[in-house]
Structure 1
Amino acid sequence: MSDLHESTHHYGAQDAPGPENLLLVWDAPNLDMGLGAILGGRPTAAYRPRFDAIGRWLLARADRLSQETGSRVEAEATVFTNVTPGGADVVRPWVEALRNVGFAVFAKPKTDEDSDVDPDMLAHIRRRHAEGVLRGLVVASADGQNFKETIDELIAEGLPVTVIGFHEHASWAVASDTIEFVDLEEITGVFREPLPRISLDQLPDEGAWLQPFRPLSALLAGRNH
């Protein structure tokens, strides 16, 4: 059975079908990991993405899609994130700031290696598709290959799909002939300072450190599955 037509999660009445939309799903844990790999550590305020800039970019896209389709297409954006045990107080200001900008937030407890938000992101995409309101999709993920099957199906149906992330980690999307890839740093105003990116094609003479994408200890967790 097509991935797009699998059963979806149950959602409340507040999530009833709305107007035609350009849907953005933002994979916060994965993008944080990708950004941390570029920076070599946790991002400071200067290197945290500005969601008001992302919102303006998405609204401009929705407006362009409205003109192309001749129907009103609204922007819908949801950030999907995990909350670690005892970490609610740390994330709460960020979540509230997102909601004030106009983003919905799907928050899920991070209890083990299998409690990622990818299945919830896919369920949300499938739900909008089943409702018949999906007119375009933007997937924000540093490594969104988990979404590739669904993306390919939507493109086959004629829906435009954009992947935003970091070109260092998304070669599958950068090289695609059918997916539009936008590097997060190319979106105006997303970062206050240029990212200290290192390219293997343009290494400094003194060399450069390339940090791991995940802790080595993750290999131990993988043996248990």
Structure 2
Amino acid sequence: MSDLHEYTHHYDGAPASSPDSLLLVWDAPNLDMGLGSILGGRPTAAYRPRFDAIGRWLLGRAGMLSHTAGTHVEAEATVFTNVTQGGADVIRPWVEALRNVGFAVFAKPKTDEDSDVDPDMLTHIRRRHSEGVLKGLVIASADGQNFKEIIDELIAEGLPVTVIGFHEHAAWAVASETINFIDLEEIPNVFREPLPRISLDSLPDHGAWLQPFRPLSALLSGRGH
């Protein structure tokens, strides 16, 4: 029997499920790292994704899924993020803005390397599936190692799965014949300005710097493996 059907854990505090849902799970730490690598540093306001645009896009997808499924499908938008020690005041406006748009937020203290939100995202997906309301899944992440197993299980059951992210970092999804991949920049109005993307296939004549995805010091803590 699939692990999806064996999941019964109740996730206290999670939003109540809708009758049928298209679930978006946004992996904030992963996408922040991907965006930072494209920009070569922390994004300015012009390069931060607009979640109202993402919400409208998701509502449109839910509408199309409703038409295909012959039943009403609600859009459920969720963002998962870590909060570093002393960092609550920094991200509070962002979290409040997300909630004001209509996104649920799962925030977890970042205390060590084992306190990532990865298992919490998987738990939420499995919870919705166990409730029998999951009609489609959208994963905003480049972390194929984390999500590939559950994606394969859902697709095998006939559920549509879409991955959104940056094509530079999600080759596993781009190359898949069963996953629908959409580059985040292709969603209308998500970014106020075009991202300054550099590709090995389209380098300028004078060359270009490609920034590291993580600091070299990460090797000291084993994160570089």
TM-score (norm 2): 0.95
> Contact 2:161 / 2:179 at 8 angstroms: preserved in 1?
yes
Whole-Å Cα distance in 2 between the matches of residues 169 and 13 of structure 1?
A: 32
Matches within 5 A, 1:170-189: 170-189=170-189
Q: 5 Å matches for 1:1-225? A: 2-7=2-7, 10-12=10-12, 15-222=15-222
After TM superposition, give the deviation of residue 144 of structure 1 in Å: 3.3
Deviations 1:86-141 (A, max 9, x none): 00000000000000000000000011111111100000000000000000000001
SS in structure 1 of the partner of residue 216 of structure 2: coil
RMSD: 1.6
Q: CA deviation at 1:2?
A: 3.5
Change (3 A) 1:8 1:48: farther
What one-letter code is carried by the residue in structure 1 that aligns with 2:22? L
> What are structure 1's unaligned runs of at least 5 residues?
none
Give the letter for the 2:221 counterpart: A
Q: Which amino acid aligns with 1:84?
A: T
* TM-score (norm. length: structure 1): 0.95
Which runs of no fewer than 5 residues in structure 2 stay unpaired? none
Q: Which amino acid aligns with 2:64?
A: R
Q: How many pairs are equivalent?
A: 224
Give the drift of 1:206. 1.0
Shift of 1:57: 0.2
Conserved? CA contact 1:145–1:172, under 8 Å: no
Tell me the amino acid that sits aligned with residue 40 of structure 2.
G
Query: AA paired with 1:36?
Result: G
